[in-house]
Amino acid sequence: MSAHDHAGHGHGGAPHGSLKGYLIGFVLSVILTAIPFWMVMTGAIDNKQATAVIVMAFAAVQIVVHMVFFLHMNPASEGGWSMLALIFTVILVVIVLSGSLWVMYHLNANMMPGLHEMREMP
């Protein structure tokens, strides 16, 4: 085998990312973190539910960016097992995000005293 046979490939012939790919992934990750941070810190959107949905959407896109640019997951790699892992990950992300929102909503609704209850407190 020549030196060219090993260039850009890891164990089992799976391609590794290039510096350009890693930089694109890094820049996208920074952007996908900075925009929701800016939105929350400045109160750019008055509706808290809309802000939460937008932040969750940015989080989901960032997960996909990490999987594509850093974990090198695509339909052709590892005989399709990476795509199965991607589908499984998407299902888990949906369960975790929706479950977290459900728990936080119910904790807020059931644990925080209302304004009228606070006035009655001694």
The pTM of the full predicted model, rounded to 2 decimals, is 0.60
Task: Count the helices and strands in the chain (H runs, E runs).
Answer: 5, 0
- pLDDT of 70-113, one tens digit each? 888 777 777 777 778 778 888 998 899 899 989 988 888 887 66
- pLDDT of 8-28, one tens digit each? 444 454 556 789 999 999 999
In this model, does residue 48 exceed pLDDT 80?
A: yes
Phi, psi (5° rounding) for residue 85?
-65, -35
